[in-house]
Amino acid sequence: QVQLQESGPGLVKPSETLSLTCTVSGGSITDYSWSWIRQPPGKGLEWIGYFYYSEYSKYNPSLTSRVTISGDTSRNQFSLKLRSVTAADTAVYFCARGSGSGFYYYMDVWGKGTTVTVSS
Amino acid sequence: SSELTQDPAVSVALGQTVRITCQGDTLRNYFATWYQQRPGQAPLLVIYGRNNRPSGIPDRFSGSSSGNTASLTITGAQAEDEADYYCYSRDSSYNHWVFGGGTKLTVL
């Protein structure tokens, strides 16, 4: 059974880089795609992006200039880096496993989420 | 605002049927995926593709689509179905994915 666990600092200063890691157990990151999603306090879900290992990554157009998602097969982890953060980046960040066909995409395994606050 | 439009709130009497809708032009060509999110929890996949339920999702949940509208139907809503529901599908560029704004379902 695949399980995901997010980890990283809970507090990041404005203008710095938010870095989170998702550790995958029970499966390999070389299979499937792997996503990051966030949810600001009291608001809806926002797709950040995903990557298919050694193939390609896709990012939310509103974040693409600041975000990188990458994987580390030696640790079976994938990571999120979001640069130049502001208070608007304060959110619960989720990692998830994704799959799909040409006509749909779904995320069937999710981490529990980690809260990141951007504040000085 | 999201490119996928959902009603902010819907209510249903216990045991009755409720339909939660998601509108967007890309839904004419792509299926919606549906997630349930209870307070303080991660989203849970409930419907994907034409009308597929992951293992463990009750069969009272079903999905359908017509034109630019995708629907999640709960037949015989239970108290535990009270949650936020999000649709998810292609954005207008057909190159990325986007969530709808979410619908808060209240079971009366």
Please give the mean pLDDT across all residues of chain A. Answer: 95
pLDDT of residue A106 exceeding 90, the answer is: yes
Predicted confidence band at A101 (pLDDT cuts at 50, 70, 90)?
confident
CB contacts, 8 Å: A108 with chain B: 45, 48, 54
> B91 vs A23, which has greater pLDDT?
A23
DSSP per residue, B3-66: SSEE-SEEEE-TTS-EEEEEE-GGGGTS--EEEEE-TTS--EEEEBTTTB--TT--TTEEEEEE
CB contacts, 8 Å: B96 with chain A: 47, 58-61
Q: Is A104's CB within 8 Å of B31's CB?
A: yes
pLDDT of residue A77 exceeding 80, the answer is: yes
pLDDT of A42 reads 96
Q: Which of B93, B78, B82, B101 is nearest to B29 (CA)?
A: B93
Q: What are the backbone angles phi and psi of residue A87, rounded to the nearest 5°?
A: -60, -25
Q: Is A44's CB within 8 Å of B101's CB?
A: yes
pLDDT of residue B2 exceeding 80, the answer is: no
User: A85 near A16, Cβ under 8 Å?
Assistant: yes
For the segment B5-29, what is each residue's pLDDT rounded down to a tens digit? Answer: 999 999 999 999 999 999 999 999 9
pLDDT of B1 reads 55
Among the ranges given (A26-30, A89-93, B33-37), the one the predictor scored with the smallest mean pLDDT: A26-30
pLDDT of residue A55 exceeding 90, the answer is: no
pLDDT of residue B75 exceeding 90, the answer is: yes
Q: Is B88's CB within 8 Å of A47's CB?
A: yes
pLDDT of residue B32 exceeding 80, the answer is: yes
Q: Is A105's CB within 8 Å of B88's CB?
A: yes
Q: Please give the residue of chain B at the shortest CA–CA distance from A41.
A: B40
Q: Which of A73, A8, A1 is nearest to A38 (CA)?
A: A8
Q: What is the mean pLDDT of residues B79-97?
A: 94
> A46 vs A53, which has greater pLDDT?
A46
Q: What is the mean pLDDT of residues A28-55?
A: 93
